[in-house]
Structure 1
Amino acid sequence: MSTPLLFFFFFFLTSFPLYSLQTAFIASIYNDHNSRLYSISVNLKTPLRPASLHLDLGGAFSWIDCYKNYNSSSYQFVINNTPLADSFGQGIGSTCVEVPSSMCSNDTVNTIFSFGYPEKPSIRDQFVDYFHPELTDSESLITDVLALSTPDGSKSGLLRRTPEFPFACVKTNFLRGLAKNVIGLAALGRSNLSIPSVISAKFNSPKFFAICLPGARSGPGVAIFGSKGPYRFSPNVDLSKSLTYTPLVFNPVSGSIYTYWLPSYEYYVGLSAIRINGKVVPFNTSLLPFESIHGRGGAKISTSTNYGLLQSSIYRAFATVFMKEAAVLNFKLINAVEPFGVCYAAKSVGVTAEGHAKAPVVDLVMEKGKVVWKLGGRNTMVRIKKKGVDAWCLGFINGGEFPRTPIVIGGLQMEDHLLQFDLEKFRFGFSSSALTEGTSCSKFQLQFYQQQFPLNNFREKFGLNFKFG
């Protein structure tokens, strides 16, 4: 580097705050029209290839299909009894396996590689017999390249690689039940192996991530890793300004059947009450404290659940109050459409300019009323058109008498709300509906980040081409 360039470089370092050298990692989030599940768009392997992974807020570690067309020059098996292998917490080792197979050469036949038990998100919501669990097959643990967009002032940004990112392998049939075209799962849980944690550790970025889930018929939403904000959406709306925070609550018992002795990797909030149009839903709040053996209880935030799930007695109380308030609006009840329990004739339900139901307002109350997350018809009702039926249905479902988690805040409730997970102060931030701010989750524009990262402006102004990392 020449002397003038060094001068400008050090002038830059002393003239801008340190955060300007930190990099946000950006990925698009898609809503599958059929499954109503969410996936995140990333790039994997060497050479890089685009890939779609199921978005799982509660996952401890990511996994991908290694058995179908897995070709990469950068993957490596995880060696057993190494710090990375130990961090998976499953302690299984064996010699070389069939796939990926290019490393299974003569000089590795005596090497002990690490194995783990990847699991689907649905397993965490089921009660299991820990002494006789139905285990998935043990699978290889590998590392490979994961790349996400980073801001450079353009609409698409630059791809930045995260080398040696940890994954578990799965067989192709393990993807059954997830959205079409996904090849694995992106874990965002409270674990050192999740995508937010690995990015933070490798790039010394803030332990923050945010997601903004899109509606089923809108464009992609966005996931932002390693940035505290601002989070700007067209037309230049910073949704971080409307964030309200509440502490994250941690379940002392994991929902995993393989690491049940550890605290949960999922995200819970301290929900204390539910109101509909200001009317308190009368339910047994003793269901909410965590039970110490199996971890039953709490109110969970889940991207792997399409709609809100409520324990049966909570659901009945909720539906009763909702129907009373809907009757005031002259909603006409019709036969319910599975999986929903309450539906109304579409002609009787008023709609907003955006085409969402004008429904009773649902308040999720936290911190004894100090914090309230308001949900309008966009996040509480679902339009169903099929087989001659045109209905608006209540987007909360009866979760059964004995679910592990009595209240699950599902994907529908989160759509078009910016959600921030602050893993430094262990708090959860949620915005008001982006629609009320004149924008939506599908209107995030990467070039707005040029304002936050003056390094790019500096490079352009002085014609410099140096890169970091």
Structure 2
Amino acid sequence: MATPLFFVFFTFSLLSFPFLSLQTAFIAPIHKDHNSGLYSISVHLKTPLRPANLHLDLGGAFSWIDCYNHYNSSSYRLVKCNSPLSDSFNHGVCGSCIQAPTPICANDTIFSYVYPEKPSIRDEYVDYLNAKLTDSENVVTDVLALSTTDGSRSGSLRRISNMPFACVKTNFLRGLARNVIGLAALGRANESIPLTISAKFNSPRIFAICLSGTRLGSGVAFIGSKGPYAFSPNVDLSKSLIYTPLLFNPQSGSIYTNWLPSYEYYIGLSAIRINNEAVRFNTSLLQFEPVHGRGGAKISTSTTYALLQSSIYRAFAMAFMKEAAMLNFTLANAVEPFGVCFEGSSVEMTAAGPRAPVVYLEMEKGKVVWKLGGRNSMVRIKKLGVDLWCLGYVNGGEFPRTPIVIGGLQMEDHLLQFDLEKYRFGFSSSALLQGTSCSKFNFSSSDNFL
């Protein structure tokens, strides 16, 4: 029987233009603010669309945006009480307002007591008897637009309707990077940006980030894609991913949802080595405490440098200095927030960063190892006649909620995948050792729409 002409044309189209068949995978640039050390994701919001930068929060459950500073959009909608979206919130009440309808005022709309929250709150000790509560705010939905991708380049912008955001007042942005107007939540909650997109487009519940520390180019976030994650010159970092299970902290760090599991990402860190030197510390600190959720090792884009509980930090710093002495590093007076610094002239540079002792983060009793070289362990301080290389791991105090927080510096130029279908965390070896970097994704397409 003759093959229908339409089928031949359709098949030829998919083969000739495979990019058209992958419209549910999205990307967005990630920028580093070098003053704060924090990261933001670049998106388009509202109608008409406007470019916007949102603070990148890996552990956030719900995105939020400044609705008080001239919020103009023809597509925003207030979330009504008892609607399916409002019913998905873990805690909220209905409120009323007698002013003219705006994103911050309307009758019969849900006010959120769970959100908004700043990322720093999750790392603080919560005094449940005298907790400082944030104001309740309306929840709105509006248009979000991201570029589609085939994994190697950016494509056309695609609008994503009804993306939920909590409103915040303008002063809520204090402490975040310059020019951000809100927060992009990438946590495990169904209302986070990755899981909302996956539900709308029936795409994989998987996203990946590749943070860049250079001022010359941005990093990238992949949403709804298992890969490829291709960087110039044709290096697919998905091929070098190593996986370990994601762990669940049984208690959220939020005063509002402390009875629920955390939305943040924890890994089963079991040991740390610096070269062949074991860092000796009380590993029971990493066990989750069932009442308040203390313990564990988490990954955070809202922490510039790794934070280590004081006893862990002291052991880590001593082991690092011992190995650094074998490389003839010269100790110098430390500058805040660092506890250990070396003379810049004593540290040799390589194409992959400073030649420094290698940090090995061990999981699954050493079966899985994340290797971090000098690029991810040391920070250059060069100003006002000072030239130092400082250890990019900071003393997090005696009683932090999370004993080990892996920060942005440790993640830079590693492709990190968060697979919420198989509940696993994937990490690549350093992109610099593979002849590329997180700043070498092709963002050359125009802003045409699908």
Q: Report how many residues are paired.
A: 444
Query: Is the 2:111–2:136 contact (alpha carbons within 8 Å) kept by the matching residues of 1?
Result: no
Match of 1:88 in 2: 89
Q: How far apart, CA to CA, are the structure 2 residues paired with 1:231 and 1:194?
A: 22
Give the match's secondary structure for 2:354.
Answer: coil
Query: Is the 1:37–1:304 contact (alpha carbons within 8 Å) kept by the matching residues of 2?
Result: yes
Match of 1:180 in 2: 178
Match of 1:438 in 2: 435
Give 1:237 shift.
Answer: 0.4
Q: 2:360 aligns with which of 360, 363, 376?
A: 363
Deviating more after overlay: 277-286 vs 384-393: 384-393
Q: How far apart, CA to CA, are the structure 2 residues paired with 1:88 and 1:71?
A: 25
Q: 1:426 aligns with which of 423, 430, 434?
A: 423
Match of 2:299 in 1: 301
Q: 2:132 aligns with which of 131, 134, 143?
A: 134
Match of 1:36 in 2: 37
Match of 1:208 in 2: 206
1:195 lines up with 2:185 in the alignment = no
Match of 1:329 in 2: 327
1:232 lines up with 2:230 in the alignment = yes
Kindly report which structure 2 residues correspond to 1:442-461, keeping only aligned pairs within 5 A, or say none. Answer: 442-445=439-442
Q: 1:403 aligns with which of 397, 400, 403?
A: 400
Give 1:8 shift.
Answer: 3.0
The residue type paired with residue 88 of structure 1 is: F
Match of 1:124 in 2: 122
The residue type paired with residue 135 of structure 2 is: D
Kindly report which structure 2 residues correspond to 1:159-174, keeping only aligned pairs within 5 A, or say none. Answer: 159-174=157-172
The residue type paired with residue 188 of structure 1 is: L
Match of 1:50 in 2: 51
Match of 1:456 in 2: none
Q: How far apart, CA to CA, are the structure 1 residues paired with 2:343 and 2:190?
A: 48
Query: Is the 2:96–2:109 contact (alpha carbons within 8 Å) kept by the matching residues of 1?
Result: yes
Give 1:20 shift.
Answer: 3.8
Q: How far apart, CA to CA, are the structure 1 residues paired with 2:434 and 2:39?
A: 23
Q: How far apart, CA to CA, are the structure 1 residues paired with 2:286 and 2:12?
A: 55
RMSD: 2.5
Q: How far apart, CA to CA, are the structure 2 residues paired with 1:197 and 1:68?
A: 28
Deviating more after overlay: 77-86 vs 200-209: 77-86
Q: How far apart, CA to CA, are the structure 1 residues paired with 2:171 and 2:226?
A: 38
The residue type paired with residue 301 of structure 2 is: T
Match of 2:388 in 1: 391
Give 1:92 shift.
Answer: 1.7
Query: Is the 1:62–1:168 contact (alpha carbons within 8 Å) kept by the matching residues of 2?
Result: yes
Normalising by structure 2, what TM-score? 0.93
Give 1:22 shift.
Answer: 4.9
The residue type paired with residue 214 of structure 1 is: S
Give the match's secondary structure for 1:441.
Answer: coil
Deviating more after overlay: 211-220 vs 38-47: 211-220
Give 1:444 shift.
Answer: 1.0
Q: 2:318 aligns with which of 313, 317, 320?
A: 320
Query: Is the 1:67–1:100 contact (alpha carbons within 8 Å) kept by the matching residues of 2?
Result: no
**Residues 248-274 of structure 1, C-alpha deviations (whole Å, 9 max, x = no match):** 011010011110100000000000000
The residue type paired with residue 427 of structure 2 is: F
Give 1:5 shift.
Answer: 4.9
Q: Describe the shift of the 1:99–1:353 C-alpha distance in structure 2 as closer, same or farther (beyond 3 A).
A: farther
Kindly report which structure 2 residues correspond to 1:283-302, keeping only aligned pairs within 5 A, or say none. Answer: 283-302=281-300
Q: Describe the shift of the 1:155–1:206 C-alpha distance in structure 2 as closer, same or farther (beyond 3 A).
A: closer
Query: Is the 2:31–2:218 contact (alpha carbons within 8 Å) kept by the matching residues of 1?
Result: yes
Give the match's secondary structure for 1:443.
Answer: coil
Percent same amino acid among aligned pairs?
73
**Residues 25-76 of structure 1, C-alpha deviations (whole Å, 9 max, x = no match):** 0100000010010000000000000000000000001000001121000001
Query: Is the 2:151–2:230 contact (alpha carbons within 8 Å) kept by the matching residues of 1?
Result: no
**Residues 353-388 of structure 1, C-alpha deviations (whole Å, 9 max, x = no match):** 35x211000000000000000000000000001232
**Residues 394-432 of structure 1, C-alpha deviations (whole Å, 9 max, x = no match):** 000000000000000000000000000111000000000
Q: Describe the shift of the 1:218–1:8 C-alpha distance in structure 2 as closer, same or farther (beyond 3 A).
A: same
Q: Structure 2: any 5+ residue segments left out of the alignment?
A: none
Query: Is the 2:329–2:342 contact (alpha carbons within 8 Å) kept by the matching residues of 1?
Result: yes
Query: Is the 2:78–2:139 contact (alpha carbons within 8 Å) kept by the matching residues of 1?
Result: yes
Q: How far apart, CA to CA, are the structure 1 residues paired with 2:60 and 2:26?
A: 19
Q: Describe the shift of the 1:358–1:98 C-alpha distance in structure 2 as closer, same or farther (beyond 3 A).
A: farther
**Residues 153-190 of structure 1, C-alpha deviations (whole Å, 9 max, x = no match):** 99652110110000000000000000000000000000
Q: How far apart, CA to CA, are the structure 1 residues paired with 2:15 and 2:347?
A: 59
Q: Describe the shift of the 1:102–1:37 C-alpha distance in structure 2 as closer, same or farther (beyond 3 A).
A: closer
Query: Is the 1:119–1:136 contact (alpha carbons within 8 Å) kept by the matching residues of 2?
Result: yes
Q: How far apart, CA to CA, are the structure 1 residues paired with 2:301 and 2:392?
A: 14
Give the match's secondary structure for 2:292.
Answer: coil
Query: Is the 1:266–1:300 contact (alpha carbons within 8 Å) kept by the matching residues of 2?
Result: yes
Query: Is the 1:153–1:447 contact (alpha carbons within 8 Å) kept by the matching residues of 2?
Result: no
Deviating more after overlay: 130-139 vs 264-273: 130-139
Q: 2:372 aligns with which of 365, 372, 375?
A: 375
Q: How far apart, CA to CA, are the structure 2 residues paired with 1:73 and 1:385?
A: 48
Q: How far apart, CA to CA, are the structure 2 residues paired with 1:367 and 1:26?
A: 31
Q: Structure 1: any 5+ residue segments left out of the alignment?
A: 449-466
Q: Describe the shift of the 1:173–1:216 C-alpha distance in structure 2 as closer, same or farther (beyond 3 A).
A: farther
